[in-house]
């Protein structure tokens, strides 16, 4: 199979994703890099592949009904917020979930914590499918799975003292005798770097970073095994972001808690998450270990996101330092594009992309990508690599001579021992 250089459109040196959010991210990342005295990160969290999955999302879907106006309020459409998402989070590990605004990150987090019930799919937490549990059956699980929210201002009740905020979960779940609640609250405040004597203060007496620490203390109160952190540092100043990420790393090490860490850019999760999933319009388009995602991204969307992060831009884009311009807005999740959802903005889309959804194909030991033309930036293959597996020709039309590979196309969470090697165009085995 021959290879062709696609490259960037001439003169495309700036990225414009959605509302310019990515430009902001790039500026932030530059700031982080420029002043290393501001960001003193701990050593990156490493992957321990020997740990079993504590959480397994399997084909998760969340379709929100859109109702007509009028008395009957019929369902006229669905917002396909999350559409067939599968991943694993290892015990004590952390998976980063990134993507532009509206791609379904928070909805995924809300499904995992069962703040929403999925339309379909399984949420296996320590082997038990949370999607099937009733509210009552979920109560003991809530101790194990907690959430940290983005906005440290709105997520804390301004009329409650810190002691009440952090102590309430202890009382609701009857974790410690009433007499010990205060001392446990103080311990928790100390763990998150706050003065334990400040338990009687109100949230408005704290800075944004301190409030986020209160939210973290509240989430830790029940000693969860999994924390879903939904943009936990996005509302904070850059210098404070680094401190909070360091704190989360400390907590992870000390309490062996696993994280699903949601962020809108790849710069924030890089240190903390040895594995990363990139979402676009309700689907995972690429997932893999840190090395694969940052140094060898194979999806055009991941390549575009990475091109906005200055210090990894060079590595990820094979030495080119241009930022990639993606045209157009993110389509509506009510009526997403046929085939590949990214095709309306993809610089290398071809005919097959409109006809067939690309499977999330395993292309490395811990690396999967959903693209018919996965390749290095500027070196995408001319022929769709998925055609043979799908049983179609290069244009996406049925091909009697091809035999679809059901085993390879099966979308399981986690990784198999066999994968499709893009360089040799053959199957490789661990």
Going along 290-337, which residue ranges are E strands?
none
Nearer to ligand SF4, 261 or 342 (CB): 342
Contacting residue, 258, 306, 346, 387, with ligand SF4 by CB under 6 A = 346
Question: Which residues, including other chains, have CB under 8 Å from residue 382's CB and lie 6 or more apart?
Answer: 1, 2, 3, 4
96-135 footprint of ligand ATP as x/- string (CB under 6 A): ---x-xxxxxxx----------------------------
Long-range Cβ contacts of 248-252 (<8 Å, 24+ apart): 248/216, 248/272, 249/42, 249/45, 250/42, 251/191, 251/192, 251/216, 251/220, 252/45, 252/92, 252/94
108 forms part of the interface with Mg ion (CB under 5 A) = no
- Under a CB-based contact definition with an 8 Å cutoff, are residues 291 and 312 in contact? no
Q: Does 208 bind ligand ATP (CB under 6 A)?
A: no
Helix axes 238-255 and 208-220, enclosed angle (nearest 10):
20
User: Which backbone phi and psi does 217 adopt, to 5 degrees?
Assistant: -60, -40
Contact region for ligand SF4 (CB under 6 A) — 156-164, 179-187, 197-205, 344-352? 344-352
Smallest separation, CB 372 to ligand SF4 (Å): 4
Among 123, 371, 385, 392, binds ligand SF4 (CB under 6 A): 371
Question: CB 262 → Mg ion: shortest distance, Å?
Answer: 7
SS3 at position 63: strand
- Which of 53, 39, 61, 123 lies closest to 88 in space, CA to CA? 53
342 binds, among ligand SF4, Mg ion, ligand ATP, none (CB under 5 to 8 A by kind): ligand SF4
The residue among 64 and 255 lying less far from ligand ATP, judged by its C-beta, is 64
x/- map, 267-306, ligand SF4, by CB under 6 A: --------------------------------xx------
406: enclosing H helix or E strand: helix 406-409
> What tokens were used for 142?
């809530």
The residue from 213, 271, 343, 388 that contacts ligand SF4 (CB under 6 A) is 343
Going 244 to 246 to 252 to 254, the CA torsion angle's sign is negative
Name the burial class of residue 218, with classes exposed (0-12), middle (13-18) and buried (19+) by CB atoms within 10 angstroms of its CB: buried
Rounded Cα–Cα distance for residues 216 and 393 (Å):
52
Q: Shortest distance, CB of residue 176 to Mg ion, whole angstroms?
A: 33
155 binds ligand ATP (CB under 6 A): no
CA angle 272, 274, 276 (to 5 degrees): 95
State the Cα–Cα distance between residues 318 and 298, nearest whole angstrom: 12
Rounded CA-CA distance 366/232 in Å is 26
Nearer to Mg ion, 333 or 364 (CB): 333
Q: At its nearest, how many Å lie between Mg ion and the CB of residue 11? A: 33
Exactly one of 372, 375, 389, 419 binds ligand SF4 (CB under 6 A); that residue is 372
Residue 348 binding result from Mg ion, ligand ATP, ligand SF4, none, given CB thresholds of 5 to 8 Å by partner type = ligand SF4
363 sits near ligand SF4 (criterion: CB under 6 A): no
User: What is d(CA 365, CA 344) in angstroms, rounded to the nearest whole number?
Assistant: 30
Q: Toward ligand SF4, which CB reaches closer, 228 or 369?
A: 369
Residue 371 partner contact from ligand SF4, ligand ATP, Mg ion, none using kind-dependent CB cut-offs of 5 to 8 Å? ligand SF4
Please report, as ranges, the residues that interact with ligand ATP according to CB under 6 A. Answer: 64, 79, 81, 99, 101-107, 264, 333
Residues of this chain that interact with Mg ion (CB under 5 A) are 106
Site of interaction with ligand SF4 (CB under 6 A): 299-300, 340, 342-343, 346, 348-349, 353, 358, 371-373
């Amino acid at each position: 199979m021959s290879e062709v250089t696609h490259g960037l459109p001439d003169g495309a040196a700036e990225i414009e994703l959605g509302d310019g959010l990515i430009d902001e991210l790039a500026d932030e990342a530059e700031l982080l890099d420029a002043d290393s005295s501001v960001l003193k990160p701990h050593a990156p969290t490493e992957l321990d592949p020997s740990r079993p999955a504590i959480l397994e999302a399997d084909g998760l879907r969340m379709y929100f009904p859109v109702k007509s106006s009028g008395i009957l309020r019929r369902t006229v459409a669905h917002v396909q917020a999350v559409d067939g998402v599968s991943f694993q989070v290892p015990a004590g590990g952390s998976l980063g979930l990134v993507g532009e605004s509206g791609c379904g990150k928070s909805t995924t987090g809300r499904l995992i914590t069962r703040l929403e019930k999925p339309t379909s799919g399984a949420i296996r937490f320590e082997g038990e499918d949370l999607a099937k549990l009733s509210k009552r059956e979920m109560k003991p699980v809530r101790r194990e799975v907690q959430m940290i929210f983005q906005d440290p201002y709105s997520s804390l009740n301004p009329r409650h003292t810190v002691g009440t905020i952090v102590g309430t979960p202890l009382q609701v779940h009857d974790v410690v005798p009433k007499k010990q609640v205060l001392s446990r609250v103080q311990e928790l405040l100390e763990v998150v770097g706050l003065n334990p004597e400040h338990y009687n203060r109100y949230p408005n007496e704290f800075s944004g970073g301190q409030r986020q620490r209160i939210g973290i203390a509240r989430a830790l109160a029940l000693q969860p095994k999994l924390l879903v952190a939904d943009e936990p540092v996005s509302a904070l100043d850059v210098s404070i972001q680094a401190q909070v990420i360091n704190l989360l790393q400390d907590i992870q090490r000390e309490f062996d808690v696993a994280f699903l860490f949601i962020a809108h850019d790849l710069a924030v999760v890089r240190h903390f998450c040895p594995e990363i999933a990139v979402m676009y319009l309700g689907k995972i388009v690429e997932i893999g270990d840190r090395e694969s995602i940052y140094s060898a991204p194979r999806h055009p969307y991941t390549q575009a996101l990475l091109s906005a992060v200055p210090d990894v831009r060079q590595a990820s884009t094979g030495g080119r330092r241009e930022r990639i311009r993606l045209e157009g807005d993110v389509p509506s999740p009510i009526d997403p594009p046929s085939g590949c959802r990214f095709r309306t903005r993809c610089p290398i889309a071809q005919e097959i992309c409109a006809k067939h959804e690309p499977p999330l194909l395993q292309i490395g030991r811990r690396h999967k990508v959903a693209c018919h033309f996965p390749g290095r930036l500027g070196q995408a293959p001319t022929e769709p690599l998925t055609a043979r597996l799908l049983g179609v020709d290069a244009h996406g039309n049925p091909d009697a001579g091809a035999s679809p590979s059901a085993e390879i196309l099966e979308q399981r969470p986690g990784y198999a021992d066999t994968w499709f090697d893009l360089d040799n165009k053959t199957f490789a085995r661990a």
